[in-house]
Amino acid sequence: MNNNFHENREMAVTFGLENVPEEDMKVNKKFRMHVFKFQRFMATIVDILPQADRTDELVQIIRLVGRQHCHIKSMSFTADKWLLFKNSLISVLCDANSQRKVYESWSRLLSFVIYEMKDAYLKYVCVLSVFIKLCKI
C-alpha cells in the first residue's frame, strides 16, 4: 500500500488518519469510504470517456468534484498535492512492466482530470471569497 498518508502529515490529518497504523488502513471506515467514492468517481470517468456525446457531462462531473473539495478547510491543494495525487495513482495503475502507451494514456487522462478539478476548485474558492466579503458589508 502506498504510504502517502503517513509521509504527508497534512493529508493524514485531513482524513483523520494521522494515528491509524498503516496495517489498519484497509479496515478503517473513513479511509474505505473515501476510497469507495474515489473508485466510483474514476469508474464514472472511464465509463463516460469513450462516449463522445457525453463530453460536457464528463467535464461537469469532474468540475463538481473539484468544487466539492473547497469545503475541506484543513488542506490546501497546492501543485505538490496535485502531483502527489497523480504520481500515487499512476503508481497503482501502472507497474514497471506496463507498456509506455498505457502509462502515457493514464498520465494524460489524470492530467486532464486534475486540470478540470483544479480550475473548478480555484474558481469556486474565488467565488466563495467574494461572497464572504459581500456578506460582511
2-14 confidence digits (pLDDT tens): 455 555 677 777 7
| Domains and their CATH numbers in the chain | 4-136 (1.10.490.10)
pLDDT, tens digit, for every residue of 34-89?
899 999 999 999 999 999 999 999 999 999 999 988 777 656 678 888 888 899 89
> Which phi and psi (to 5°) does residue 17 adopt?
-115, 10
pLDDT tens for 47-57 read 999 999 999 99
Q: Are 55 and 112 in contact (CB under 8 A)?
A: no
**Which residues 6+ apart lie within 8 Å of 72 measured at CB?**
14
pLDDT tens digits, one per residue of 91-103: 989 988 889 999 9
